[in-house]
Amino acid sequence: MVEDARHHGDASRPDEETISDTAESLLTFENAAIPLAVICPVGRIVMANRALRAVLGYEFEEIVGMSIFELVVLPVDDPHRAWQEWVSANDGVTPERRVRLVRKDRSHIAVRASSVVVADDQGAARYVVTRAALEIS
């Protein structure tokens, strides 16, 4: 019986490490000083850290599920198509670019943003991680 308990404990250790690593990663993301977002391939926010929520003036429950097209002023005629083409191309990290974000109060803020597409095992876009560095005027 002692042998069974030891064996079971060893078998569950990788799961405990995975949970611990995941929790640590989530805390690091949430508490990062730089605004960060995780966006699904169709352009909806899956996660937004505390820094991004503070910059934009949203609570967690308000921003999760929002479309990026409500939050980003894009200088293209068809932002939905441009987003889908970029995500589908899966070119990896975008060069830093200047964009304007729309705050909850509808004011705009200039940021320098870059993104990376994270692919699944088949190479399709799984999600996009974006960071936004505030521009100091």
* CATH code of the domain in which 73 resides: 3.30.450.20
What's the domain range around 13? 1-31
pLDDT band for position 3 (cuts 50, 70, 90): very low
What would the two tokens of residue 79 be? 């932002």
Q: Are residues 99 and 122 in the same domain?
A: yes
Non-local (6+) Cβ contacts of 114 within 8 A are 93, 94, 95, 96, 97, 130, 131
The label of the residue with tokens 């508490």 reads 31
- Amino acid at the residue 37: A
Q: Are residues 65 and 20 in the same domain?
A: no
**C-alpha distances in Å from residue 80, one per residue of 48, 52, 68, 72:** 20, 22, 10, 12
Q: Tens of pLDDT along 78-125?
A: 888 888 888 888 767 888 889 999 999 999 999 999 999 998 888 888
132 strand-pairing partners: 113
Q: Tens of pLDDT along 24-53?
A: 888 888 889 999 999 999 999 999 999 999
| pLDDT of res. 1 | 43
Q: Are residues 113 and 129 in the same domain?
A: yes
| pLDDT of res. 6 | 44
Query: Rounded to an integer, what distance in angstroms lies between the CA atom of residue 125 and that of residue 41?
Result: 6
125 strand-pairing partners: 119
Length of the chain: 137
Q: Are residues 19 and 59 in the same domain?
A: no
For residue 77, pLDDT beyond 50: yes
Q: Are residues 64 and 121 in the same domain?
A: yes
State phi, psi for 32 to the nearest 5 degrees.
-60, 145
The label of the residue with tokens 């083409």 reads 85
pTM of the model: 0.78
Q: What is the DSSP letter of 128?
A: E
What would the two tokens of residue 136 be? 């100091």
